[in-house]
Homo-oligomer: A and B are copies of this chain.
Amino acid sequence: MHALVTGGAGFIGSHLCDRLLSMGYRVTAIDNLHLGKMQNIAHLASNSAFAFQLIDMLDAEAMEALFKTDRPDCVFHLAANSDIAAGNDDASLDLKLNQLTTTTLLDIMRRHDVKRLFFASTSAVFGEADGRIHEDFGPLQPISFYGASKLAAEAYLSVYAHSFGIRTLVLRFPNVIGERSTHGAIYDFIRKLKDDPTRLPVLGNGRQTKPYLYVGDLVDAILFAWDRSEGNYAVFHAAGIGETSVRDMAEIVVSKVSPAATIEYGSSDRGWLGDVPRFSYDTGRLEQLGWVPKRTSTEAVEYAVERILTNGF
């Protein structure tokens, strides 16, 4: 089986390449290196089952040439701008990197008769919705361009799945953490403490509470659903067990990096525009297939911090 991984030099994409190769896949990774880094896949350079191409997915000619020569059997589409705050500064960024990469890909997959697709979506499609939202329910009212662009991409995936037969698996990611991440609270906290080990200033009041998932456990969930989902269009949610507050996360990082540091909280209920103060969603569809998360949300935070401190970002 030959898989194309878009965003393959990125945080989650590079972990997925590792796993697919270990399962015996042949893997072609593409990335525009907007957030991806060559160092994330440097260890794969000598693997004959792996190839990397620096491609901008919006370059339809380059994508066309890739599909013509590389002929993948399936595509894992993880290329995206995943930095919500950066996306809010420039509305066209998420439109291009999250939605238009997807529609360009779908058009090419349709023309080249490539019939299986995984798409990395996000809990941000729900905005500030309350409660444990079912995979098929809303309200779908994003509050960030990131969430809007991923929901827009989902809308087009639905059309190509239902009307053009591209079998599509959508997994809405929670907050994913681990080594090779480029941003997010853990990354931010560790960097701040390296700069000044005496204090940790935290954006917001620390009461934001979210489900976190370690990147290796997310890759488990992707491939678990990939093997078992049925039908032309399937939407899943994945998360660890429970949730973790920013306050708990700050205390975990401080305890492991600089136990004497003072944590200084802000006053806002959110860290940045488009940040959601509290979020949890229903992961029942994945669990009904037999998936059991390996770690609680807080165990995932502890494990991710340890991995980053051992292996670097």
Binding site for B on A (CB under 8 A): 88, 91, 95, 99, 103, 107, 125, 127-128, 136-145, 147-149, 151-152, 154-156, 158-159, 161-163, 233, 235, 273-274
B107 touching A103, Cβ below 8 Å: no
User: In the complex, what residues of B have CB within 8 A of residue A154's CB?
Assistant: 140
B152 touching A273, Cβ below 8 Å: no
User: In the complex, what residues of B have CB within 8 A of residue A145's CB?
Assistant: 156, 159
Residue among B103, B139, B141, B163 making CB contact with A274, cutoff 8 Å: B163
Q: Within the oligomer, what is the number of copies of this chain?
A: 2
User: In the complex, what residues of B have CB within 8 A of residue A156's CB?
Assistant: 145, 148, 152
A140 touching B127, Cβ below 8 Å: no
Residue among B103, B138, B149, B233 making CB contact with A95, cutoff 8 Å: B103
Additional A-B contacts beyond A137-B139, A143-B163, A147-B159 (4; CB < 8 A): A95-B103, A142-B159, A145-B159, A148-B158
B142 touching A148, Cβ below 8 Å: no
User: In the complex, what residues of B have CB within 8 A of residue A95's CB?
Assistant: 103
Residue among B88, B91, B163 making CB contact with A103, cutoff 8 Å: B91
